[in-house]
Amino acid sequence: MKFNVLTRADLDGLVCAVILKNTEDIDKIRFSEPKFVQDKEIDVFPNDIITNLPYDPRCAMWFDHHIANVRPKEFKGAFKVAPSAARVVYDYYLPNFPQLKKYEQLMYHTDRIDAADLTYDEVLEPQGYLLLSMTIDGKYHDDEPYWLKLIDLLVEKPIQEIMNDPDVKAKVERFSKEDLEFRQLVRDHSRMEKNVLVTDLRNVEKLPNGNRYYVYAFQAATNLSMRITNDRERPGYVSIGVGYNIFNKTANINVGELMKKYGGGGHKTVGSTKVKAEDADKIVKEMLVYLTMR
């Protein structure tokens, strides 16, 4: 039976597709944001394998690791709390496909990147798989041919060859230029709310792609960060993301469960949601009351 993959456009989602291309007969690969699956705004078919996204009962198989996602009592696939969704897929197939061990280094780096298990120096000067991951921006669907190419490259080539690919080099060059602007915007649009660093970028008309981990290096004294942006895919909506500071993990909340209350989701240490623009200020205030008590 031929399957399609429905996954998220980040390194974790792409590596899920890499593993599935080695283990199943994959026809097409599609991409979605979690909220679209959660709200059933995207078609799901009986031959779809969903990875790194919420469950949909119409799918053939489901693989995920997000603690806030609703898990059915019975389904084909696997769910467990793991550093990455790709790790869930890898562990599921490894007993019957020992050749997957050739991806051990890819899995190691995917786990570290998705779990934000990074050093200060890696955040300030990303290289290799981490730098590659920063060229993948799921908000730009025009980049879909690039994501598909990366999957094929990751299936066959080591990271050194991938980083020398002309398309990848062009993306890295563009990212590096935009990241300088992004870092300045973070500094200009951030404020302290007790233990929370709030970065509100709603007034930025064109938000450049940038290193999402930089905020933690910029203000290591806080233990939580909140990022607020206009949703580029849904006009009239605002994206709110909250995460533990990866260099100061003293917070004691379940971010994914908090976001779930507002229609989103995530992990214990990081999560996000999308809300109507007119409700955003009220919801941000509510969240900050909760977050600053932790």
pLDDT for residue 139: 76
For the stretch 234-258, pLDDT in tens is: 889 999 999 999 999 899 999 999 9
- Beta strands 270-276; 237-244: pairing state: antiparallel
Does the structure show a pLDDT above 80 at 293?
Answer: no
CA distance 12 to 90: 12
For the stretch 85-115, pLDDT in tens is: 999 999 999 999 999 999 999 999 999 999 9
* CB half-sphere exposure, 284, CA atoms < 13 A: 22
What single letter denotes the amino acid at residue 71?
A: R
Per CATH, the number for 183-291 is 3.10.310.30
Helix/strand/coil for 48: strand
Helix H or strand E encompassing 170: helix 166-188
Does the structure show a pLDDT above 90 at 210?
Answer: yes
Helix/strand/coil for 273: strand
Residue 33 and residue 57 in contact, taking contact as beta carbons nearer than 8 Å: no
